[in-house]
């Protein structure tokens, strides 16, 4: 195979839709814009949910009830199989996991989950542990240390 032999897979390339090229083209007359009106004009764009000046549905519906988003705790998952990366007897905490690239993103902490097999004795420091992860770590003589969560100021209000 050479560079000059390469070509895209069948069906991967399409001709562009040529609008306004006569009635028989299938895209003539109104060029796929329907009849008259705001959406038929050039430069027209309406934001999602716009209903032509009518009160939009999202504003017509009542907002009531409880929403848990303010109190939700979002933890980054790290599986036992990922902890196999560390040396025997090592202390694994949040900073070490982030440096190793095993816990990335914004969150309220790290939770160790029990997926995979662990063969090393580790001291694991995290915000939460699943029951299966805790038993697997402690069965090998390791230690699970739980970091106390920071109090949520929104929960008090």
> How far apart are alpha carbons 84 and 81 in whole angstroms?
5
Position 154 scores a pLDDT of: 59
| Tokens representing residue 39 in the block | 């959406």
Instruction: Specify burial of residue 103 (Cβ count, 10 A radius: 0-12, 13-18, 19+).
Output: buried
Position 70 scores a pLDDT of: 82
Rg (CA), the chain: 29
Position 149 scores a pLDDT of: 73
Position 67 scores a pLDDT of: 85
Strand partners, 124: 92, 144
Domain range summary for the chain, segments of one domain joined by +: 75-149
- CATH fold of the domain at 75-149: Ribosomal Protein L15; Chain: K; domain 2 (3.100.10)
Is residue 123 a contact partner of residue 142, using CB atoms and an 8 Å limit?
yes
| Tokens representing residue 1 in the block | 């195979």
Q: 3-class SS at 96? A: helix
* End-to-end Cα separation, the chain, in angstroms: 67
The one-digit pLDDT tens for each residue of the chain (157 residues) are: 899 999 999 999 999 999 999 999 989 999 999 999 988 999 989 999 999 899 999 999 998 888 888 888 899 999 999 999 899 999 999 999 999 999 988 888 999 999 999 999 999 999 999 999 999 999 999 999 999 876 666 555 5
> How far apart are alpha carbons 72 and 152 in whole angstroms?
10
CB-based contacts of 136, cutoff 8 Å, min separation 6: 80, 114, 118
Position 68 scores a pLDDT of: 85
Backbone torsions φ then ψ of 8, nearest 5 degrees:
-65, 160
Position 153 scores a pLDDT of: 62
């Amino acid at each position: 195979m050479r560079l000059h032999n390469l070509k895209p897979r069948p069906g991967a390339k399409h001709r562009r839709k040529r609008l306004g090229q006569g009635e028989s083209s299938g895209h003539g007359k109104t060029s796929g814009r329907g009849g008259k009106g705001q959406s038929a004009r050039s430069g027209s764009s309406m934001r999602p949910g716009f209903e032509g000046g009518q009160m939009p549905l999202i504003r017509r519906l009542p907002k009531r009830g409880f929403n848990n988003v303010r109190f939700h705790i979002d933890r980054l998952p790290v599986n036992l199989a990922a902890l196999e990366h560390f040396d025997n007897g090592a202390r694994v905490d949040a900073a070490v996991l982030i440096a190793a690239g095993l816990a990335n993103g914004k969150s309220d902490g790290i939770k160790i989950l029990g997926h995979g097999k662990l063969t090393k004795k580790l001291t694991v420091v995290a915000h939460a542990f699943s029951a299966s992860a805790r038993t697997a770590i402690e069965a090998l003589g390791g230690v699970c240390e739980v970091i106390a969560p920071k109090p949520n100021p929104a929960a008090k209000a």
